[in-house]
Amino acid sequence: MHRSLSNLSSCFAKLPVLLGFGVLALGLSGCPSGMCLVKVCKGDSSNCRCSWDTCPSGSYFDTQRDACVCEMGRVSLNSSCMTQAEANAYCGAGARYEGYGCVRIVCPPGQELDLTTGACLAKQQVDKVAENMGVQVGEGQKLGCPPGLVLIVENAQSASCVPPENTCSRDETWNGQACVKVLQCSPGWILDTASGQCVAVSTNETDYTVDLQAWTSASYGTPGGPGTPAFCSGFNKKPRTFGVGPGATVHVLIDVQVQAPGRSVVQAQVATSGRMQAGGAPVTQQGAAEIQRTAQELLASLRVQGGKTASDAGQTSVRCTIVNAAQPAPVPESGGL
């Protein structure tokens, strides 16, 4: 049996590859997450296991794949390994996790999804939503939208018609024609939407220590830029909740601050503040609640990783666009306008 230090070119300089059974004091500097630092091999290098890695909680380093992989019963989302229940919560109300990612709940024919509760509403309930909005749905009709727009029942009181690009799931982005899944990174790595590449969550030399600023920017958006699809999609489907009327588009500026008391990942908290770009007025109380809820859902993907953070805070300021494309109206039950 022998031990070997892997990824020498990235982490260690001028250290021997093979070790005996003695103890080695390592002088490490800047080893990123998702790496195996010490392999224990029986015979040749094809029969090895990793005995020291920088993988997040819920994962282990697979020497055959040369990457961190989730333990049995866990799924990989946003640099973390989650249980099915945690993944469902991450996907948000109105969605759930299936084998390849977050998917919107599909209701039976004639029913519509309540995006706040995640429940399917019978036609009579949707008609009541229309009535609450002052829209009368007659016999043989249903509440619908003009062609090319999607009906969103925001809650029991309101519905909106939004463009399809505002209906993507949390792990999707709009490619100009459809919602498509974003690149899924290995556990311990997170997608930087600005560059389109996976970046390491931790750069600590001996264990998994989260770079909180890097995680905050990757999860919510680069400071001064657009919010990530994962963040904005949590609330841009609800224009009326933000007081945005039919035919209007607004840009919302959002400050996000993540704090980790005692640099403990599991104790991490997030605070948000939203305001309209035009005029600087605060968003509605209901809109503020939606932003905060979404920020907490994303933060939950960090907290399940466990461990510690390199600093006690990370922050960013981003912009999200909210569109209310049209007023819902009665349409034939067999189709749209």
Dihedral sign (CA 184, 187, 190, 195): negative
Q: Which residue's structure tokens are 């630092």?
A: 37
Gap between the Cα atoms of 291 and 234, Å rounded: 8
Query: What are the start-end ranges of the H helices in the chain?
Result: 8-11, 84-91, 123-132, 212-220, 229-232, 285-303
Torsion of CA 13, 15, 18, 21, to 10 degrees: -130
Dihedral sign (CA 228, 230, 235, 237): positive
The confidence score (pLDDT) of residue 46 equals 66
The confidence score (pLDDT) of residue 63 equals 80
Please give the distance of CA 66 from its chain centroid, rounded to a whole number.
Answer: 25
Q: How many other C-beta atoms are found inside a 10 Å radius of the C-beta of residue 191?
A: 23
Q: Is 73 left (phi over 0), alpha (psi -120 to 50) or beta?
A: left
The confidence score (pLDDT) of residue 307 equals 86
pLDDT tens, the chain, 337 aa long = 444 444 434 454 333 333 333 223 233 334 556 667 777 777 666 677 787 777 888 888 888 888 888 999 999 998 899 999 999 999 998 999 998 899 999 999 999 999 999 999 999 999 999 999 999 999 999 999 999 999 999 998 999 999 999 999 999 999 999 999 998 888 888 999 888 899 888 776 667 789 999 999 999 999 999 999 999 999 999 999 999 999 999 999 999 999 999 999 999 999 999 999 999 999 999 999 999 999 999 999 999 988 899 999 999 999 999 999 999 999 998 754 4
Which residue type, as a one-letter code, is found at position 23? V
